[in-house]
Every structure is written in C-alpha cells, then in structure tokens.
Amino acid sequence: MLTRAAPLAITPPDLERDYRWAVAAARAAADVPAVGAEAELWTVRGWVDVAVGCAVVGSAATVVGLDDVVRETGVSYGWRFAQRLRLLREQWGPVPRWYPECGPAPVEADGADRREAVRASRIVADFCDALAAVRGPDKPATWPADTGELICRATRYRPSPTRAFRVVECDIDPGLPGRMWMRLPQGATVLHLTRRPLGRAAIVRTGIHEGAHLDHLLAAPGPIEFGAGLLAAESYAMAVEILAAAECAARGEAELTAMLRAGLVERVGRLPGGIPERAARGWPSAALRAALATGSSRFAGLTTLADTYVVGPLRLLAGRTPILPPELEQGLGRRWHAVTDAFPGALALAEAVAECGWTPDTETASGAARPSSPDEGRR
C-alpha cells in the first residue's frame, strides 16, 4: 500500500534506531567492490545518499551516526560528491574537520581493457536500432507528475510490481541525491523531489526504473543500496527497462518505446573511459552515434558502477541471476522469454548475449564468464 509522509514527520523519533540505521548505511556505503580513487569516490557518493536519508528522517541521531562512520573510515577526498556531502551536512551545523575535501577531478583511465563494456554497448545499441523501427498508431499516454502515482501507474511494465512503499516529498536541490529510492528506518521510501521538473521521457523511466528498484528493495533479504548490492540493483532495474522497451515494441506502443530507447542510449553515452567511441569504431549503429552526442561526465571516475548499467542487465537476461531473489528472477525470466518470441529485436539481443560467453552453460569452472573480443562479427 502506497503511503505518504512529509520529511521530518514520518514517525515519532527513535534515537537509538535512527543512529543504528545511519551507522549501518554509512558502513555499507564504504564497502565497495573497487580500489583506490574509484573506491573513495564511490564511498563518498554513497554517503551523500545517507545524508539525504538523514535529512528525510530529520533525526540528529542519524547525523551523529554518519559523522562517526566518516571519521572511522578516513576517506580524504571525494571530488564533487564531497561538495554535495558537505552541503547536506551543513544543515546540521559546522562540518566536522574529518569530512572529505573535494580534491582534484578523477583522472579517467583509458577503457582499452574494458572489452565487456564495449561488446555490451554494441548489443544494447543494436537493440535500440531495432526499437527505432517500431511504428504504431498509439495515442500519447497521459502520465501523472507525482513520483508515487507514476510508480503505481507503471506496474504493468514491471514483472514483480509492488505498492508497499512510502512517498516523501523532499524540497532539496534535485542535483544532490544520487537516487530517489532508499530503505529508511521506517521502511522502503521513494522521494518526490518537488523542485525537479520532469520531461515526459523522464517521467516514464521514473515509473519503471525507480519502481523496479522498490520492487527489488522489498524482495531482497539484505541491503542493495550500496556497493555490490547497488550493482545488483542497477542491473535489475536496467533489465526491467529493456524488458519494458521490448514489450512496448511488440505491442506497437511507439511513443513509450521511443522514450525507453532514449534512456538506453543515454546509459551507453555516459560510459567513461571512451567506451562509446570504442564501441562505435567500425560498428554502423544510429544508436551509438546518438550515444556519442549525449555523453556526460556523471559517472567520471566510477567505471565499475557505470559499466553495470549496460553489462549487468545483459547478464541477468542471459540467465545469470544468482544475485536476485527467486521471485524477481522467475518473474523477469518468464516475461523476457515470452517477449523474445514476440519482438525480433529482443531475440537478436538474447542471441548476441549468448555469443558472449555470459550464459551459465558457458561459464568457466571458477564461475567467471569467459572474455570475448569486442570485434566479433555482428549478427
């Protein structure tokens, strides 16, 4: 059941509970599958989301918990994420001296060794090119501008939908939160950012992508908001987007198909380290050309996380889903299997992924997928 609450007034304060939540979340944010500068950036990015949660909960105990973990972790720099963290922390008084400083911008590593990301970019681009050919008489749908209503409206596009979450209106700078979904002491929550105008395409993707995150959050037995859990979460949400795009294409819903296609192109375009440029070399794809034009620095320095938005969903759709709760795995698998029979572009994507050596029957003895060349002939 969808419920609503204003920030600072979700439930009566429970200081011990709030402190424990902040400590657990901040420590989880520091446990990332990366090293060096990438690990520091990723950690501070996660602390920004914890600080947003502190602001929503409105309990000083959460801030004490965050402060304690930041001090014990000892991260020195966090580039623009450190600036966002400090801005949020200033709401509660002077920023402690042990908080990370901004420091220099990350030096982007060359993507020559990220063959998996290159191959996945080409597969997603080919799928987007198939989506671009969809034509249909569908009339433009009317979508609500409220985040909670959007997520409920989009249940038909998600394989395991839920409505058991809270919506909290949040009047903060929309550039601060890294995500709108989170598990607060009071339960699964999605933020409605009152100062963020949404275009039609962003509105639709919010209902599907953010909704998939909430579906996953409520089904997962453990945390999925940080570190390796976040990689699983973004893999699932992106797989749901790809599924929704294929199903809309199969039904001839041209407008919604185009919106979802634009979102997929944007995810390829923002891969750091020159991946879109490498993928486009010798690979005639309108979607890749569009991705090059829409590139952004949003994930600069966060290679592992950025690649997951493209590689992760393909692995899930190929059947490598030990990271998902069984009900999500089964729901996604059933719908994807059905749409590969209904939309040729989905079948072509499935066949291309199978050639990459990512499916379970072609894993190595250690369980790791065999690498493949990004220059394999296209189907």
Window from 43-47, 135-139, 280-284 with minimum mean pLDDT: 135-139
Look-up of token digits 């909430």: 214
Question: Is residue 126 scored above 90 in pLDDT?
Answer: yes
CA angle 17, 20, 25 (to 5 degrees): 125
Sequence-distant (6+) residues with CB within 8 A of 21 are: 53, 57, 62, 65, 184, 185
Token pair of 148, please? 């909670």
- Residue scoring higher pLDDT (135 or 309): 309
Least confident of 34-43, 63-72, 253-262, 320-329: 320-329
Q: Could you tell me if 78 and 40 are in contact, meaning their C-beta atoms sit under 8 angstroms apart?
A: yes
CB atoms within 10 A of CB 354: 14
Pairwise CA distance, residues 286 & 304, whole Å: 26
Q: According to the model, what pLDDT value does residue 136 have?
A: 75
Tokens of 244: 């929704």
Mean of the per-residue pLDDT values of the chain: 87
pLDDT in tens, 81-106: 999 999 999 999 999 999 999 988 88
Task: Between 32 and 298, name the one with better pLDDT.
Answer: 32
Q: Strand, coil or helix: what is 79? A: helix
Instruction: Give the mean model confidence (pLDDT) for residues 166-177.
Output: 88
Instruction: Report the pLDDT value the prediction gives residue 173, as an integer from 0 to 100.
Output: 87
Select the more confidently predicted residue: 296 or 30. Answer: 30
Percent share of the chain, pLDDT over 70 = 89
Of residues 316, 337, 186, the one with CA closest to residue 247: 337
Alpha-carbon distance of 238 to 271, in angstroms, equals 14
Torsion sign, CA atoms 374, 376, 378, 379: negative
Question: So where are the chain's domains?
Answer: 3-92, 111-162+198-362
Residue 290 is predicted with a pLDDT of 94
Scanning the chain, the segments in alpha helix (DSSP H) are 15-29, 36-57, 60-73, 79-89, 115-132, 147-153, 200-205, 211-219, 227-251, 254-269, 275-280, 286-293, 303-317, 326-342, 344-354
Mean pLDDT of 48-52: 97
The amino acid occupying position 126 is: D
* Type of residue numbered 165: F
pLDDT band for position 204 (cuts 50, 70, 90): confident
* Per-residue pLDDT tens digits for 276-321: 999 999 999 999 999 999 877 889 999 999 999 999 999 999 986 5
Look at the block and give the residue holding tokens 């729901």.
331
pLDDT value for 12? 61
pTM for the structure as a whole = 0.90
Q: Which of 301, 307, 324 is nearest to 43 (CA)?
A: 301
Whole-number pLDDT of residue 4: 44
Q: How confident is the model at residue 6 (pLDDT cuts 50, 70, 90)?
A: very low
Can you name the residues that pair with 3 across neighbouring β-strands?
166
The rounded distance, in Å, linking the Cα atoms of 259 and 201 is 5
Residues ≥6 apart with Cβ < 8 Å to 268? 121, 124, 125, 275, 276, 279, 287, 288, 291, 310
Q: Pairing mode, if any, of strands 166-170 and 181-184?
A: unpaired
Average pLDDT of the segment spanning 62-78: 97
Amino acid residing at 69 = V
CA dist 132 and 126 (Å) reads 10
Q: What are phi and psi of 314, to 5 degrees?
A: -65, -40
What pLDDT shows up at residue 369? 32
- 3-class secondary structure, 317: helix
- Residue 8: predicted pLDDT: 42
- Residue 288, both tokens: 């890749």
- pLDDT of 379 strictly over 80: no
What average pLDDT does this structure show over 202-211? Answer: 88
